[in-house]
Amino acid sequence: MVKSLIDAVVKIFIDAGHGGTDPGAVGNGLQEKNVNLQIATRIRDMLVNEYNGVSVLMSRTGDQTLSLTQRTNAANAWGADFLLSVHINAGGGTGYEDFIYPGVGAPTTTYQNLIHEEIMKLVNFRDRGKKTANFHMLRESRMPALLTENGFIDNSEDAAKLKTSSFIENIARGHVNGIVRCFGLTRKTSAIYHTVVSGDTVYSLSQRYGSTIQQIRSWNNLDSNYTIVVGQVLLVAGGPSSSTSSSNMGKPAPKGDMKTTSIVDYLNSIKQDSSYANRARLAKQHGINNYSGTAAQNTQLLNKLRK
């Protein structure tokens, strides 16, 4: 543990590089701004949903145009304990690297070492090393700061990896594991969480204490094509409170917004993936065939999920 904040909240500022009119690097059908936001959002969700004593502020949560000064000003004004700026590289290389400002010492160098180590454990990228650079985000921030370059968008092999949701999850998880070590964060224990993977598609769910693999498959209509990895969190769908009785253990988490007529808003309210791909998966599980996202199908799916 590098830093322990007793009875305090660690404030992590996450910057998704570029955005809006600035796409960043472009290549192989990808725009850097979009991949940056994917990774940054998953890092935020993992930290907030899985760990105690952490608060996250993002420079952007959508496709906004922001100057570098606006980003560092926001982090400085908030009083962040750590700034993380997420990027994708370009220029003909391959692999992962990260940067801190030249000449800084601990704890910044320690944070870089830990996060770099954890990312390299989980991603199949060439290790380009730990580096320094006179980047605005590193120079103008008043707190320890790290800028990560997660592969090369103009390298076809790197780009192919960045197009898979499972690889994005691993990149985000590596960042999170490093931050957890940096600040000694403790994991929430209100529920047991599971990752569900089918090919390159990653789904997530949570079930209450006492749930078995067989129950998970039954509740979610999962056949043997889905691999269930116990003990990891991707998206949190809730968990039991301290007053949950043993008779309720092993049952799905309670439902969310019962008033909305939007399937997307409803899924978001229970912290589930609201993408078209996941809605199609849920529709198939609930007997809605040939799902195409029509209003009637979405209403039907919404009603089934609320039962």
List, by residue number, the catalytic residues.
149
- Sequence-separated (6 or more) residues with CB below 8 Å from residue 153: 25, 26, 27, 28, 30, 32, 35, 88, 89, 90, 159, 162
User: Both tokens of residue 61?
Assistant: 């949560």
- CA nearest to 97, candidates 156, 149, 169: 149
Query: Rounded to an integer, what distance in angstroms lies between the CA atom of residue 47 and that of residue 26?
Result: 29
- Sequence-separated (6 or more) residues with CB below 8 Å from residue 43: 14, 56, 84, 86, 172, 175, 176, 179
- Which amino acid appears at position 109 of this protein? T
Number of other residues whose CB lies within 10 A of the CB of residue 117: 15
Number of other residues whose CB lies within 10 A of the CB of residue 107: 17
- CA nearest to 91, candidates 165, 11, 25: 25
- CA nearest to 167, candidates 269, 88, 267, 50: 88
Q: What 3-state class would DSSP assign to 95?
A: coil
- CA nearest to 31, candidates 70, 69, 83, 87: 87
User: Both tokens of residue 233?
Assistant: 């969190």
Query: Rounded to an integer, what distance in angstroms lies between the CA atom of residue 30 and that of residue 18?
Result: 13
